[in-house]
Amino acid sequence: MDRRSALKQAALLAGGLAWLPACDFGPQRVAVALDNLQLDVNLQDLLAKVAATIIPSGEDKSDETSPSDDSMGAEELDLYRFILVMVDDCMEKEDQEAFSNGLQQLVPFTKAYFEKPFPQKETMENEAILTQLMEMKDAPAAKEGIEISPTEQLKDIQAFLGITKRYTVQGYMASEYFMTEKFPYKLVPGAYQGCVSTDGLTVM
């Protein structure tokens, strides 16, 4: 092997090694890059769980009395990414802070004041927890060792849940899956019917 070929192969090998860290095909989720929000992978996973509770998949929605279906939910569509981008790009700083604080306080709050902290294994239990949080009008009495007042915690959590629900529904209805599988888009609104009876037609 001449010197030129050896140098060429060495350069290719070095380039391949440099790309190895980026080629991680493991199950671990990669954090979404954000400009304003500072949320680590664990918090983004928690957001994904909240979104999946709002719009679960057909398998998660099924129970013993109703047959399961294969409809996709927020988790399969990665709607947490849509939520993060919308909050990071389109919301005011005050709303971004409430969203971030509410997300961070969700687990400590439910752990401190609920018998079943979020998240649980069953979707129905998670739905019950989030529903209870949204319907709470008064925060519970503060417990010893809790630095943030329950009133402020509840306020931020309810703001977070409201924002998350809004963008989860918006992202789901705008997804390719919904527009092609659940509610197929028709370029022309229905077939043309040249002869339609007007008997009984009421003109307002």
Residue-wise pLDDT for 149-162, tens only, equals 888 999 999 999 99
Within a domain: 194: no
- Sign of torsion over alpha carbons 31, 32, 37, 42: negative
Position 164 scores a pLDDT of: 97
Residue 114, pLDDT > 90, answer no
Q: Out of 9-23, 107-121, 161-175, which region has the weakest mean confidence (pLDDT)?
A: 9-23
How does pLDDT run across 47-105, given as a tens digit for each residue?
999 999 999 988 665 554 444 567 899 999 999 999 999 999 999 999 999 999 999 99
End-to-end CA distance of the chain: 90
Element (H, E) at 9: helix 3-19
Position 57 scores a pLDDT of: 87
Within a domain: 110: yes
- Sign of torsion over alpha carbons 105, 107, 109, 110: positive
Residue 201, pLDDT > 70, answer no
Within a domain: 150: yes
Pick 164 or 182 by higher pLDDT: 164
In this structure, which amino acid lies at residue 158? Q
**pLDDT range class, residue 138, cuts 50, 70, 90:** confident
The predicted model gives 11-36 an average pLDDT of 52
Position 200 scores a pLDDT of: 67
- Name the residue range of residue 60's domain: 26-182
Nearest Cα neighbor of 52 from 139, 196, 176, 168 is: 168
Within a domain: 6: no
Within a domain: 111: yes
Give the whole-angstrom CA distance, residue 38 versus residue 91. Answer: 15
Within a domain: 46: yes
Give the whole-angstrom CA distance, residue 67 versus residue 76. Answer: 20
Contact 166, 87 (CB under 8 A): no
How many structural domains comprise the chain?
A: 1
Residue 136, pLDDT > 80, answer yes
Pick 144 or 156 by higher pLDDT: 156
Asked whether the bond before 56 is cis by omega within 30 degrees of 0, the reply is: no
Q: Which of 59-63, 135-139, 143-147 has the highest mean pLDDT?
A: 135-139
Position 197 scores a pLDDT of: 74
- φ/ψ region of 200 (left if φ > 0, alpha if ψ in -120 to 50, else beta) reads left
**pLDDT range class, residue 5, cuts 50, 70, 90:** low
Partners of residue 66 on adjacent β-strands: 63
Position 134 scores a pLDDT of: 94
- Sign of torsion over alpha carbons 157, 31, 170, 92: positive
